[in-house]
Amino acid sequence: METTTAQRTGPLAGYRVLDLTAVVLGPLATQILGDYGADVIKIEPLTGDQMRANGVSKHRGMSSIFLAINRNKRSLAIDLKSEEGIEIIHRLLPTIDVLVHNMRVPAMERLGLGYATLSALKPDLVYCVATGFGESGPDAGKPAFDDVIQAASGIAALIGQEDGKPDYAPTLLADKTCGMALCNAVLAGLLHRARTGQGQQVEVPMLETMVAFNMAEHLGGLTFAGPDAPKAPAGYARLLAGGRKPAPTLDGYVALLPYSGEDWVNFFKEAGRDDLAREFDLKDKHERNAKVKELYAAMHDVTRQMTTDACMALCDRLDIPATRLWSIQDLPNHPHLKAVDFFERVEHPTEGPIRSVRTPTLFGATPAQTPRPAPHIGQHTEEVLREAGYSTEAIAQMESRGVVARTAVP
């Protein structure tokens, strides 16, 4: 049974979010807000979020990706191109604390849902928008998806820097990173409002967010200006030297990182390779970094002669950070994840038993929860509209005119 809005728990219980986002970036951000207890009202077109069709599906419109990033939301299906649809948003607005969208800004303004219009109706509204490119730059308003931002932010070039063939990370890296940045922006906006009573507009541009993310360690020689600046390019050499790869073993791969000089010495000695411990100047961090490619190659020569279990046992004994490699297929069987009940079995009213990951953040005093599975298109249309003061007859009439849509779910 679903938990009602009044029963919701978590640090954001009592806050209401109007979610006009779609695809991945925005829905991931608003799902986190919902996981933290906010009442998230997902505004969908009558045909539903595009992501309903992407991934693996048991039934049309309820794909694996949609199920993964849209729990703890109520779906209100509206035709926002109609005057009555916009009026619904205006009627909901007095009860809304946060509005989040990732539409193009001019499109929102044409709909009458821009910040200037809505803040005049509700001055303490926290209005958060995720854009592809910052609104003050020449690329403002250009379409942007994950691939475009991975390429524009330098990530695709970094992935292909060793062989000169740029590539995309096989995960929606930009969408999901910017989704978490968007969630953080909402929380900061709410904190400011709690302190001052003032709302504001907050913009999270994808390109700028991902360049900041990327350059945290890769600014390198670009950091310094002036005539005495070091003559060095951008980039963090330890990551770009070509040796930093999973280490092969006799029966698989491990990831291990002897971080200190003592770690490196102990690793080589315990593996019976005192010669390697003497070959490198392991006490000097700068010298280790200068020969990182050779150092990793030596480490791989050692691990190739060991089984994965033996390598892990050695690292555990020496307290060296390490793990065996896990495939995404096998992660539900990871012993740590099993012990902390990270993968949850949830009963969906139409999709049956589904597996999902719980929110990883744990609150001691205000525990979050995941009681509401991802909704069908318009599953909560009548419920939300009745809360806004619409009568059953008015809702039925709007449905007949194609202003809203409802889906009955058992």
Q: How do residues 274-305 score in pLDDT, each as one tens digit?
A: 999 999 888 888 888 788 889 999 999 999 99
Question: Residue 131 — pLDDT band, cuts 50, 70, 90?
Answer: very high
* pTM, entire model: 0.94
Percent of the chain beyond pLDDT 90? Answer: 88
In one-letter notation, the amino acid at residue 117 is T
**Among positive and negative, which fits the CA dihedral 282, 284, 287, 292?**
positive
- Residue 370: the pLDDT is 65
Question: Residue 65 and residue 49: Cα distance in Å, rounded?
Answer: 11
By three-state DSSP, how is residue 98 classified?
strand
Instruction: Please give the mean pLDDT across all residues of the chain.
Output: 95
Q: How do residues 82-97 score in pLDDT, each as one tens digit?
A: 999 999 999 999 999 9
User: Residues 133, 176, 165, 293: what is their CA dihedral angle, to the nearest 10 degrees?
Assistant: 120
Q: Where are the beta strands (DSSP E) in 196-351?
A: 200-205, 247-248, 253-256, 322-324, 343-348
Q: Which two tokens stand for residue 293?
A: 């490619």
- Residue 129: the pLDDT is 98
What's the Cα-to-Cα distance from 18 to each of 24, 75, 81, rounded to whole Å? Answer: 16, 10, 17
Identify which of 64, 67, 87 has the alpha carbon closest to the alpha carbon of residue 75.
Answer: 67
